[in-house]
């Protein structure tokens, strides 16, 4: 038996819709999310955009800058445009067909920035965005007048004697006594020496970067008195 030729994203989903009898089950919408998409998004806002009066065939989750966030809602009936045989891509082929046949594609803002997981630095950026979003959900973000949300310190991290403020410390990271880490993400394998002050930074084993373009510091000399 010959292996079936690769069908592409849209082709694979179309085949799954048929095999799962989704039409008979009256499933109207399918939620798609890319493997590199950030979890720091407001999916409830995306799902609330669905209603009986919804005029769109595809609803893209986008950022405040109109960048695709890697997730979308798409009507099951749209996949009827996919041929039974051959490769058929979702973005390059199906979406253009939807527009050409009079379908409508809309967007719903679900994130401040469109972040994708591609390397350690981008993963740390996503963790920081997730932590910031959790803080805003709890009403403990900047300017809220409430106590900041506690940091996320993984069980395998060592932070005894250090001051951790609104940060994420991953398993295997070490923050030595007397060090201060604020609004930062510290990856596994990173050691913050005693007396160091870290603010608004992403620190991984492959180096560090600022969380914000205009601020972020790593002061290995410790706080000045």
The closest alpha carbon to 181, from 165, 170, 168, belongs to: 165
Query: Residue for token digits 């009066």?
Result: 53
Domain boundaries defined on the chain: 8-111, 120-219
Question: What does the mean pLDDT of the chain come to?
Answer: 83
pLDDT of residue 22: 87
* pTM tops 0.75: no
pLDDT of residue 136: 62
pLDDT greater at residue 141 or residue 188: 188
pLDDT of residue 166: 84
Q: Are 116 and 39 in contact (CB under 8 A)?
A: no
pLDDT tens-digit readout, 101-122: 999 999 999 998 888 888 777 8
Tell me the fold of 120-219: UDP N-Acetylglucosamine Acyltransferase; domain 1 (2.160.10)
Least confident of 9-23, 137-151, 168-182, 188-202: 137-151
Question: Chain-centre distance of CA 160, in angstroms?
Answer: 30
- Rounded mean pLDDT of 171-184? 93
**Partners of 182 in beta bridges:** 165, 199
pLDDT tens-digit readout, 4-61: 578 999 999 999 999 999 887 889 999 999 988 888 889 999 999 998 789 999 999 9
Q: How far apart are CA 64 and CA 98, in angstroms?
A: 24
pLDDT greater at residue 65 or residue 223: 65
> Half-sphere exposure of 69 toward its Cβ, with a 13 Å CA cutoff?
27
Q: Are strands 201-204 and 207-210 parallel, antiparallel or unpaired?
A: antiparallel
Sign of the C-alpha dihedral computed for residues 108, 112, 113 and 116 taken in this order: negative
């Amino acid at each position: 038996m010959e292996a079936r030729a690769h069908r592409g994203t849209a082709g694979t989903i179309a085949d799954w819709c048929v095999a799962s009898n989704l039409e008979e089950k009256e499933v109207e919408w399918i939620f798609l999310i890319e493997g590199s998409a950030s979890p720091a998004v407001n999916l409830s806002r995306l799902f609330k955009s669905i209603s009986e009066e919804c005029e769109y065939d595809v609803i893209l989750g986008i950022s405040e800058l109109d960048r695709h966030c890697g997730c979308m809602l798409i009507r099951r009936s749209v996949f009827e445009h996919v041929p039974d045989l051959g490769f058929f891509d979702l973005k390059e082929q199906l979406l253009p067909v939807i527009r050409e046949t009079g379908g409508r594609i809309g967007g719903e803002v679900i994130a401040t920035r469109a972040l994708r997981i591609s390397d350690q630095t981008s993963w740390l950026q996503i963790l920081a965005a997730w932590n910031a979003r959790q803080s805003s959900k709890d009403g403990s973000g900047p300017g809220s007048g409430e106590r900041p949300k506690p940091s996320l310190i993984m069980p395998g991290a060592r932070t005894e004697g250090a001051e951790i403020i609104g940060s994420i410390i991953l398993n295997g990271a070490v923050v030595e006594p007397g060090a201060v880490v604020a609004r930062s993400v510290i990856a596994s394998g990173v050691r913050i020496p005693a007396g160091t002050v870290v603010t608004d930074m992403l620190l991984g084993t492959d180096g560090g970067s600022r969380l914000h373009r205009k601020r972020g510091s790593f002061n290995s000399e410790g706080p000045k008195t």
